[in-house]
Structure 1
Amino acid sequence: MLEEFKQKIISVATALGLNGIYECYGSYFIAVDFCIVAIGSLAEGSTREQALSEVDSMLAAVLEIRKRCSPAKASDIYLMLVCPVGSIDSPFWKELAAEIERDDRLARKHVWLPCADSGNFEVFVANTFLAKPWDSPSGTVDALKLMADDLDMPKGWQEVLLNTELETVELINKLLLLDKESI
């Protein structure tokens, strides 16, 4: 399961600017433009103590990596773990995953509880920094469009604000003109 998980994470990270994949201290690490991700797995049949011991071993590897990173990258290390297939239906694994994710030592943690067919990976990724909130073909978020339905904007403002061809001064002048016209 670890290999499949690693490949899925690498695939998502590649779209975000994957810089490298490393194996050191018995763990896999990937470097994305802005952070480092350690990848690991928890074995089927593990007890709580065994699983937490495995997490501690991975955190020891994270600590070694942190020592070699710039301060900016050292503060942005993630540990992504995969549990056994079907663990999403197990109260034991759900409780353990929640406990691991609450632990804020050395790295932020995300735990994937795969369903029987591992088809819930996208849901897992959507709850991490690897999520792609955009849905436009250009690959960018247009926050104004996402919020437009909830905003009570003066007449004409939305059209001006969404006009990407306007320079800053032109945009401000058009907004002021619309404001004067509404008085």
Structure 2
Amino acid sequence: MTAEELRDRLFASAERMGWPHEEVPSFVSPQFRGRPDASTAPLPQEAFGIRLGAYPAIVAPVTLGTSAEMQEALKLLHSQMVIARSYMTRTELINAHIFICAVNPSPKADWRSVIDIAERDEAVCRKLVWLPDAKKLNTSYEAFRDRTFLAAPWELAVERRDAALDRVQGLAANLLVEAGLDEETASKWIDIVNQPDQDEDTMVERLVRARGDLQ
């Protein structure tokens, strides 16, 4: 997997949230804003500057090797983020992130330890690492996304609430059928009871009428 793919997936997640998103080349410029000369600090060779809603970020690949190699990669990313911050608004600075796409993991590397080095280092800004699983690519990305500001926990809550409501309504329908109503009338009664903004007299009248429609 590549940093470009991570960028595209982040864009898709922002789109799903209804957020504006764009690539921002100035975030990965070698020059500070307002300065003609390039920085003399070493910078990452491949990186993308992006904005997801109110969140500016740099997306870059890092090879998962030794702890020392990760620390060296972080130095490059820190230097790039310092430049990127010169192009951000004051309100954006606190929201800046570095998203790392782990590539070519060494079979001898302690991946968790190396990833922890990156994610626990909050110098300059917060960092999160995506370790793609080639066999479960979407699942691994979703697990990564759910640790970011792009997570949408309310969607799961709505699904659970709706599932619970469906179970309750199913039980109510069964009880009505056992009490003598046919399935169609039971379904109508449940729909009527669930409608908002109606007084008790109106509800009773509609329930009686719904049953009478089938007699």
Q: Which of the numbers 34, 38, 46 marks the counterpart of 2:54?
A: 34
Q: Which of the numbers 62, 72, 78 marks the counterpart of 1:59?
A: 78
- Give the Å deviation of 1:19: 3.2
- Give the Å deviation of 1:113: 1.6
Classify 1:73/1:164 alpha carbon distance in 2 versus 1 (closer, same or farther; 3 Å).
farther
Distance 1:13 1:58 in 2: 23
- Give the Å deviation of 1:164: 9.3
Please give the secondary structure, in 2, of the residue aligned with 1:97.
helix
Q: Per-residue CA shift, 1:103-156, capped at 9, x if unaligned? A: 1111111111222322411111111111122327xxxx76xx69x9xxxxxxxx
Q: Per-residue CA shift, 1:68-112, capped at 9, x if unaligned? A: 22221011101110112678x976111111111111111111111
Judging by fraction of residues, say which structure has more helix: 2
Counterpart residue number, 1:169: none
1:83-162 counterparts in 2 under 5 A? 83-84=102-103, 92-117=110-135, 118-119=137-138, 120-135=140-155
Larger Rg: 2
Please give the secondary structure, in 1, of the residue aligned with 2:78.
helix
Amino acid in the other structure paired with 2:21 = N
Classify 1:56/1:86 alpha carbon distance in 2 versus 1 (closer, same or farther; 3 Å).
closer
- Give the Å deviation of 1:13: 2.2
Please give the secondary structure, in 1, of the residue aligned with 2:110.
helix
Q: Per-residue CA shift, 1:30-50, capped at 9, x if unaligned? A: 112211121011125x33222
Contact 1:82 1:111 in 2 (8 A): yes
Distance 1:34 1:102 in 2: 23
Matched, 1:73 2:92: yes
Please give the secondary structure, in 1, of the residue aligned with 2:103.
coil
Distance 2:102 2:76 in 1: 16
Structure 2, unpaired ranges of 5+? 30-44, 165-194, 198-215
Percent of aligned positions that are identical: 19
Counterpart residue number, 1:12: 13
Amino acid in the other structure paired with 1:79 = I
Counterpart residue number, 1:151: none
TM-score relative to the length of structure 1: 0.66
Contact 1:30 1:37 in 2 (8 A): yes
Classify 1:86/1:18 alpha carbon distance in 2 versus 1 (closer, same or farther; 3 Å).
farther
Please give the secondary structure, in 2, of the residue aligned with 1:104.
coil
Contact 2:98 2:127 in 1 (8 A): yes
TM-score relative to the length of structure 2: 0.57
Contact 2:70 2:118 in 1 (8 A): no
Distance 1:20 1:54 in 2: 25
Amino acid in the other structure paired with 2:6 = F
